[in-house]
Structure 1
């Protein structure tokens, strides 16, 4: 640009200034006083995950200023970053996070009729009664996780409702649950990135279960109930 005469100094002046800067040990550069007076520059360096979540932070902060209690759903497919985003919000706001993965179907619920329902392979009835309704009413949650190793429900853990409460997991925006939230966010993910992440964090046999069973269940639910378009925000997980 200096060579083309597009700057208010010549190429030679530019080279001389750079050489002086090098000899001085590359000290930090600052705007001139005139520039600061006219433009009031300000810069912030953010972690990428914080920057991506800024629209969500803004919506949460607005809701928290208006309401005494806020419930947020984080929806999306396997490996889309739901748990990671939930942990990020927990670290920022100090809020409780509730996981749909803790509410798999009990043995007696695992019928052919149940699995034919879009979103039928999660115990949404128990999640509604034991988590969402108490949170909405500001009551403590007696949180009972489903133990996938024993196919039983663990003893309750008492969790106090927060000013902000996060629900993360696929099926969190099922029509039976969606009316209880103040805000919902969907995390899309490409098939390629999803496969890469699942293979990275699972043994081959377990990964095969995702590809052959769980992901098709999720996709049928997303398509049949138009889940993505019913969420308030969409935050990409592919970058």
Structure 2
């Protein structure tokens, strides 16, 4: 993975450098399969480019939003409205911003994060290339991996019960979203990790 990972980071940094000549602020979305290394890739890219990093996991739906209708829509379990109003719009307006990350373990909000955004902003996580968000971003990246690696990484990260939940619930929801919106093919960059 290291050579592919380094290649992905270097290729993305090169594209950012090219865009820096054209734009004052660059928005990057990093989407892809669970267990494909999105968080690690985003963290490395953020450190390399001094970018502001926002995680989609902070914007999963609150319990009262989890209606059957909402969850049945491809990518419907991400609060895209809140990402736009609390993160993207303040950045566009040139402001610092604050948001309360949603914590899935306690099913409630955590303490607010106050952010003074850098000139490069990364939104990392599944559903970051959702059509409601897609046009806000300058660079769209899709990460994938093979099934065995995916399951192994999820198992290491969360144990058996969490892996079972991912296999039965979250991965099928992601795949539905990827296929419905043709996410991988819409991204400028795609890497297998």
Q: TM-score, normalised by structure 2?
A: 0.94
Aligned positions of 1:74-153 closer than 5 A: 74-153=30-109
What SS class does the counterpart of residue 202 from structure 1 fall into?
helix
| Greater length-normalized contact order (CA 8 Å, ≥ 6 residues apart) | 2
Task: Give unmatched runs, 5+ long, in structure 1.
Answer: 1-46
Deviation at 1:138, TM superposition (A): 2.4
Aligned residues: 191
Deviation at 1:151, TM superposition (A): 1.5
Partner of 1:50: 6
Q: 1:71 aligns with which of 27, 38, 41?
A: 27
State the alpha-carbon separation in 1 of the partners of residues 175 and 157 from structure 2: 21
The structure carrying a bigger strand percent of its residues is: 2
Per-residue CA deviations over 1:187-230 (Å, capped at 9, x if unaligned) read: 11111211121122221111111000000000000000101111
Kindly name which structure, 1 or 2, has the bigger radius of gyration based on alpha carbons. Answer: 1
Deviation at 1:177, TM superposition (A): 0.3
Q: TM-score, normalised by structure 1?
A: 0.77
Deviation at 1:136, TM superposition (A): 2.6
Greater alpha carbon shift after TM alignment, 117-126 vs 199-208: 199-208
On the 8 A contact 1:74/1:86 being kept in 2, the answer is yes
What SS class does the counterpart of residue 235 from structure 1 fall into?
strand
C-alpha RMSD of the superposition: 1.3
